[in-house]
């Protein structure tokens, strides 16, 4: 298993994976166009040349980024793949000088184990008016907002 930056040839697999979770209302769906535009945000987990997981670090402001579109194929879940992808994204945030990273999630326990802390969604205005407005659950969001402070290496 290896975690690497996404390649252009991974886009269709990333979309398939992310939109499978979106159909279950566990994340926002992503179009192929949106994924191409945000390719540099993504890391993937690869097993025997097959994409089995994806995760993005999306920069929103000079000191704020979001972990988004974290998805792992069901048979590869509970093996530390999600943790490794999030850790890779947090490392990149630190290298870029971004000191705060948040997530909106239905899996708060997972992120709390990685050091994220609860935060008020109202403290994330860039997010609320960005992606969230496209969500069918907006404005009645039931996701948990968590944030972590990242140190530069």
Domains of the chain, earliest start first: 2-149 (3.40.630.30)
Query: Cis omega (within 30 of 0) on the bond before 6?
Result: no
Q: What is the pTM of this model?
A: 0.89
Instruction: Judge whether 46 and 9 are in contact, CB under 8 Å.
Output: no
Calpha distance 23→46 (Å, rounded): 23
- Quickly state the pLDDT bin for 134 (edges 50, 70, 90): low
Q: Which residue blocks in the chain are alpha helix, DSSP H?
A: 11-23, 32-37, 81-96, 108-113, 125-128
Q: Report the C-alpha gap between 34 and 23 in whole angstroms.
A: 17
Handedness of CA 84, 90, 91, 93 (dihedral sign): positive
Is the distance from CB of 30 to CB of 131 less than 8 angstroms? no
Q: How confident is the model at residue 138 (pLDDT cuts 50, 70, 90)?
A: low
Mean pLDDT in the chain?
89
Residue 26 banded pLDDT, cuts 50, 70, 90: confident
Look at residue 71 in the predicted model and tell me its pLDDT: 96
């Amino acid at each position: 298993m290896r975690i690497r930056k996404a390649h252009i040839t991974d886009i269709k697999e990333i979309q398939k994976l992310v939109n499978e979770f979106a159909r279950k209302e566990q994340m926002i769906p992503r179009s192929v166009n949106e994924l191409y535009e945000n390719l540099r945000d993504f890391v993937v987990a690869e097993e025997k040349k097959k994409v089995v997981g994806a995760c993005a670090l999306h920069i929103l402001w000079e000191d704020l980024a979001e972990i988004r579109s974290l998805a792992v194929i069901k048979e590869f879940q509970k093996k530390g793949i999600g943790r490794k992808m999030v850790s890779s994204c947090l490392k990149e945030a630190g290298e870029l000088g971004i000191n705060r990273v948040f997530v909106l999630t239905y899996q708060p326990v997972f992120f709390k184990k990685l050091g994220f802390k609860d935060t008020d969604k109202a403290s994330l205005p860039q997010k609320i008016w960005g992606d969230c407005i496209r969500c069918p659950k907006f404005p009645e969001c039931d996701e948990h907002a968590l944030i972590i402070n990242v140190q530069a290496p």
